[in-house]
């Protein structure tokens, strides 16, 4: 049973405190060992915890659930500003993972809905490269400028959740290319107009976001086939 400390709070043995907090004894021993939540020692060398230790343990458990490492949690608990930074970083990371899962779900849906003999794996692989967040090689523009542009665009993409729209436009352009349509044919001009309209909706009037989009799209399309790049460049010039 819990006993009382000189300040009037309750004192718990490890097993009691673990039951109160809903964690294992091994977890408490580990947090004690790494310095996240140090147990006090009685004269008989028993580990004990107090009521005042429970809020700290609850903070640790919440941050662990959010995916923070023990080192990140230790730094955050020692510095309030670092805690706010950690919360922001974990929120961003989780949003990115959610967007990636949405992209994966859409890709699997499209694969299942497409007959096996009509699945264009090159098209799907290109979609994965565009939406799945593969790294872009260093070069011009500078890496710092490119990273900043990618972050800005990533935040906007998460806010709009436009994965399906991206996929459909990407797919329709590849179909048009296979059919022989260029950006100058009526069908090609319609696709360029769709892309331009998508750009306008995406940037929402923000010049800074428009510049970031140009940086990223110019860098990415520099690695794609000429026919596809022609559609992108036409849409960028018109936007």
Within this chain, do residues 44 and 108 fall inside the same structural domain, yes or no? no
Distances (CA, A) of 207 to 155, 204, 211: 16, 9, 6
Q: Which domain holds residue 212?
A: 98-238
User: Domain for residue 76, yes or no?
Assistant: no
Q: Among 107, 131, 104, which Cα is nearest to 119's?
A: 107
pTM: 0.56
234 shares its domain with 131: yes
What tokens were used for 88? 């922001």
Enumerate residues 6+ apart whose C-beta is below 8 A from 157: 99
Mean pLDDT of 148-152: 70
Q: In a 3-state reduction of DSSP, which class is residue 146?
A: helix
Tens of pLDDT, residues 39-91: 999 888 889 999 999 999 999 999 999 999 999 999 999 988 899 989 988 88
DSSP alpha helix (H) spans, the chain: 14-21, 25-34, 53-65, 70-78, 80-113, 121-131, 143-160, 163-179, 186-203, 207-221, 226-238
Domain presence at residue 81:
no
Assign 169 a pLDDT band (cuts: 50, 70, 90): confident
Structure tokens at 110: 């499209």
Domain co-membership, 229 together with 169: yes
Alpha carbon distance, N-terminus to C-terminus of the chain: 72
Claim to verify: residue 105 and residue 163 sit in the same structural domain: yes
Domain stops at, among 65, 88, 117: 65
Q: State the chain's mean pLDDT as an integer.
A: 81
Q: Is residue 71 part of a domain?
A: no
pLDDT of residue 44: 86
- My answer on whether 9 and 110 are in the same domain is no
Least confident of 32-41, 61-70, 163-172, 192-201: 163-172
CATH number, position 35: 1.10.1660.10
Q: What is the mean pLDDT of residues 217-221?
A: 63
Q: Do 233 and 177 sit in the same domain of this protein?
A: yes
């Amino acid at each position: 049973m819990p006993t009382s400390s000189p300040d009037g709070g309750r004192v718990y043995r490890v097993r009691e405190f673990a039951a109160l907090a809903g964690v294992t004894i091994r977890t408490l021993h580990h947090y004690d060992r790494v310095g996240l939540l140090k147990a006090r020692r009685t004269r008989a060398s028993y580990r004990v915890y107090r009521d005042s230790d429970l809020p700290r343990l609850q903070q640790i458990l919440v941050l662990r659930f959010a995916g923070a490492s023990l080192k990140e949690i230790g730094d955050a608990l020692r510095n309030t500003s670092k805690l706010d930074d950690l919360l922001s970083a974990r929120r961003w990371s989780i949003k990115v993972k959610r967007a990636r899962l949405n992209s994966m779900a859409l890709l699997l849906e499209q694969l299942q809905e497409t007959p096996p003999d009509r699945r264009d794996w090159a098209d799907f692989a290109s979609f994965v490269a565009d939406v799945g967040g593969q790294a872009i090689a260093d070069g011009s523009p500078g890496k710092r400028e490119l990273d900043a542009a990618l972050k800005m665009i990533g935040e906007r993409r998460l806010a709009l959740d436009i994965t399906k729209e991206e996929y459909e436009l990407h797919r329709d352009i590849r179909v048009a290319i296979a059919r022989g349509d260029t950006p100058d044919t009526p069908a090609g001009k319609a696709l360029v107009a769709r892309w331009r309209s998508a750009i306008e909706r995406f940037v929402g009037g923000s010049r800074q976001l428009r510049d970031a989009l140009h940086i990223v799209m110019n860098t990415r399309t520099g690695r794609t086939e000429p026919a596809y790049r022609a559609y992108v460049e036409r849409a960028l010039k018109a936007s």
